[in-house]
Amino acid sequence: MQIVSAASAYPQHYYPQEQLLEALQEYWGDQITNPHVLRRLHRHVGVDGRYLSLPKEEYPKMKTWGEFNDQWIRTAQELGEKAVSSALNEAGLNPRNLHAFFFTSVTGISSPSIDALLINRLGMCRNVRRVPIFGLGCVAGAAGISRAADYVRAYPGQVAVVLSVELCSLTLQRQDISMANLISSGLFGDGSAAVIVAGSDCGLSGPAILATRSVFYPQTEEMMGWNVSEKGFRIVLSKEIPNLVRENLARDVDDFLAERGLTRPDIGSWVLHTGGPKILEATADALGLKNGELDVSWECLRRTGNLSSASVLIVLEEVMKNRRPAPGTLGLLAAMGPGFCSEFVLLKW
């Protein structure tokens, strides 16, 4: 099993963080009684700028969840088509070569799901297997690769695509001035990424998927996710997540590697979800990664913010295109998300 290619796609509207802060201060108006708090939060999220699905001045004009979700459907199709087309081009494939389509998002809903709409737009085979995934949030990019690997392990002559589209700006709640929403308003951005995963009989090259592991943490479902109401998605984001990372991540990574006779020093490449500064710092502390191993994750966070499930795929794309490890290097792709849970993918470059 190989990861053959990874490609991203973004909306055309990009704003420096300072402009977004000014727009949010105006958006919330007198609801924010201490604007210095919002400014301080935005300055500590490690983000220089983000892409938005709409021009920033259009957001105050949107009044209902339905309006935001309609925009999500339109933009998700546009970005999804671009990301999948780019990933296929890089792999030397066309849409009819795809046998399975794994689509993930947690920032909007559609039925038929976006994968079905893209089958029409891209002209995929009528027999392509569809697996839309909702609710996994930030972990879903890594989980999508794992599920695609399961598929091509069963069908080694076939090719699967994993597509993530996350349009976090379309979930922003105007009436919610909780600390979680204020932090999210400075951290999360919009974007898409697609990854092509091929079976071992396809004759395609790329980092090999050696093994995968899912880990669920019982009684942690209140740590991250959405409270869904008639107004849309309201963010749930616990301040205890960094502690959960510090308490569990090293043990679970070590157990996963030990089953294959490996330890952390055997890993020469780390492809980790961007999370946010506190999550990346907790990850570095837990795994003892203090020598630049997470530089790519930090750089992707700085450029585009946290793109939820697409984030780890963006990091993967950067590593594959610009920082590819030497052949034979072992790598670990990993993310964490609502549930609360972890997903690990062991790679060999």
Helix axes 140-154, 311-322, angle to 10 degrees: 70
312 pairs with which residues across the strands? none
Among 136, 186, 128, residue whose Cα is nearest residue 159:
128
254, 264 contact by CB (below 8 A): yes
Q: How far is it, in rounded angstroms, from Cα 305 to Cα 287? A: 23
What are the Cα distances from residue 335, in Å, to 76, 96, 100?
A: 22, 30, 22
Ramachandran angles phi, psi of 285, nearest 5°: -65, -45
**Catalytic residue selected from 138, 168, 202, 341:** 138
Q: How far is it, in rounded angstroms, from Cα 267 to Cα 348? A: 9
Decide if 138 is catalytic.
Answer: yes
151, 162 contact by CB (below 8 A): no
50 pairs with which residues across the strands? 15
Other beta carbons within 10 angstroms of residue 282's beta carbon come to 21
Cβ within 8 Å of residue 320, ≥6 positions away? 3, 5, 6, 206, 207
Catalytic residues: 138
